[in-house]
Amino acid sequence: MTIPSPVTPQDAARQSTAPRPDERRSGGPGNLGGGPARALQRVTASALGPYQSAVVRIGFAATYLFFLLRELPHRHELYGPESPWHWDLARRLTNGNEAFSVLMWTDSTVWFEVVYVLTLLSAVALLLGWRTRTMSVLFMVGVLSVQNRSIFMGDGGDNVVHLMAIYLVLTRCAQVWSLDARRAARSAQRAAAGLTPPRDIVGPVLWVLLGPVLVVATLLGGLGGTWWFPTLLWTIWLSAAAWWAVNRYMPHGEPRTLLDVLANLAHNATIAVIMAEVCLIYATAGWYKIQGSRWQDGTALYYPLNLDYFTPWPALSDILGASGLMVMVLTYGTVMVQVAFPFTLFNRRVKNVLLVAMICEHAGIALLLGLPFFSMAMIAADAVFLPTAFLVWLGARATIGRRRLLSGLPGRSRTPGKLGPSGVPDGPAGPPESGAAKDGHDGTEEPRLQGGGGGHTLVG
């Protein structure tokens, strides 16, 4: 007979607190299912995909910035007073389809130049992640205004930019790789060092300046004929004031937590919509191609390669079009990749392989068919599916390259630990994204940034 060992108070307490097998399966006592509860906690506690949303922001801002720069000499003929689609015709069309465009407020050439320049500047600021929430709104207004002024000048890439400009307004896309994230990190360092963070002046000034414009545009009916667009603008402007008040007077209270939860929900829902949008684009494109006879017999690619409009490199197009085998492989390969991609999202490795194939496909379209901005827009949309580990690695390589480049400039070398001009130690601290990659979530979660999540609000 085995004599049982005496039970100590510590053992009894450990046994009483240990979860039973049935509790482990259900997620704990009183838990309504561990899986749904964990999923709800994840989508409300953090803005998922910080690196993916940052790449989407950078990609679409760069796409439209380069487009506006390329068309700068022809802006008057495309969207301005010299356009064949005259201002009166555009006015009649926007009145009929209830589209929004600030260029419809007046046919003044000066006003057109102001809108064009402001759209350029907002694209630059969004690319850099400076006052991202404000710049995302101005970028959306600029994109919609320019495109709705002459809708017959666009193509499929413009439609993607049109949609993504709206989606970016609802995302927290400046958590990493942005000036807002760097400003938030420096404020956190100052607070950790016992220093007072600098007071934000630019944010409230922007809020005060844009408020009267929104009021006047609403009263004069200059926000289009839809209900959702004025609602979106007013919601963002009023929520900016709420964020500023909460961050100033209750930075650690329940209202701050509630605002974070709402912002995370909006961000995560928008990222899901972007993913669904990309899948829908490829699925519809692939299935429509299957119904075409030229795609069925494998000769569809041959015809655009022999059109002068789509041959920026005639010699290269002739070499590729002369090979019947290559034309057939590329034609069938395009259809198979586009049809199969939405079904590969459940297998990460296969999805990554097809993602590389689609990016290479759009790079080939830019090179062979002379459609760089369409390809840039689609690659930027594809970036929402890029693996976090790859983006973290890419960011680390870019940071190393930037440091090596700046270290060669005179006056840039500093002693580690020495206080910089902002009163923050200039030690070898890593970029803001380095901490996110080590938070135990494979880099998909970010520490909450001070002031509304790295540029989430109009005032931060």
Cα 205–Cα 206–Cα 208 angle in degrees, nearest 5: 65
CA distance 156 to 246: 42
pLDDT, position 243: 93
- 99: closest CA among 144, 65, 47? 144
The pLDDT confidence band at residue 448, using thresholds 50, 70 and 90, is: very low
Q: pLDDT confidence of 56, banded at 50, 70, 90?
A: very high
**Stronger pLDDT, 320 or 138, i.e. the higher one:** 138
Q: What confidence tens digit (pLDDT) does each residue in 66-113 have?
A: 999 999 999 999 999 999 999 999 999 999 999 999 999 999 999 999
Question: Residue 345's closest CA among 274, 279, 439, 396?
Answer: 279
The two three-digit tokens of residue 45, written as one number: 């506690």
| 100-106-112-114 Cα dihedral, nearest 10 degrees | -90
Instruction: Please tell me the pTM assigned to this model.
Output: 0.83
CA–CA distance, 275 with 267 (Å, rounded to integer): 12
Given a cut of 50, is residue 140 above it in pLDDT? yes
pLDDT band at 33 (very low <50, low <70, confident <90, very high): low
Query: Comparing 52-61, 163-172, 340-349, 432-441, which segment has the lowest mean pLDDT?
Result: 432-441
Looking at residue 391, its pLDDT comes to: 95
Buried/exposed 226-245: b ≥16 CB within 10 Å, e otherwise: eeebbebbeebbebbeebbe
pLDDT at 411: 62
Taking the CA of residue 246 as centre, how many other CA atoms within 13 Å lie in the half-sphere pointing to its CB? Answer: 20
Q: What is the pLDDT of residue 34?
A: 67
Is residue 275 scored above 80 in pLDDT?
Answer: yes
For residue 431, pLDDT beyond 50: no
> Distance between CA 438 and CA 282 in Å, rounded?
34
Q: Mapping DSSP to helix (H, G, I), strand (E, B) and coil, where does residue 173 land?
A: coil
Average pLDDT, the chain: 84
Give 47's pLDDT tier (boundaries 50, 70, 90). very high
Q: Does residue 408 surpass a pLDDT of 80? A: no
Q: What is the pLDDT of residue 413?
A: 52
Helices and strands, number each (H, E), in the chain: 20, 0
* The pLDDT value given to residue 28: 46
Which structure tokens are listed for 446?
């970010």
Q: What is the pLDDT of residues 359-387, one digit of tens each?
A: 999 999 999 999 999 999 999 999 999 99
Least confident span in 18-22, 147-151, 292-296, 389-393:
18-22
Tell me the sheet residues that pair with 419: 425
* Per-residue pLDDT at 38: 86
Nearby residues of 225 by Cβ (< 8 Å), 6 or more positions away: 95, 98, 99
pLDDT at 318 exceeding the cut of 80: yes
Q: Are 144 and 98 in contact (CB under 8 A)?
A: no
Please name which of 381, 361, 195 lies closest in space to residue 275, comparing C-alpha atoms.
Answer: 381
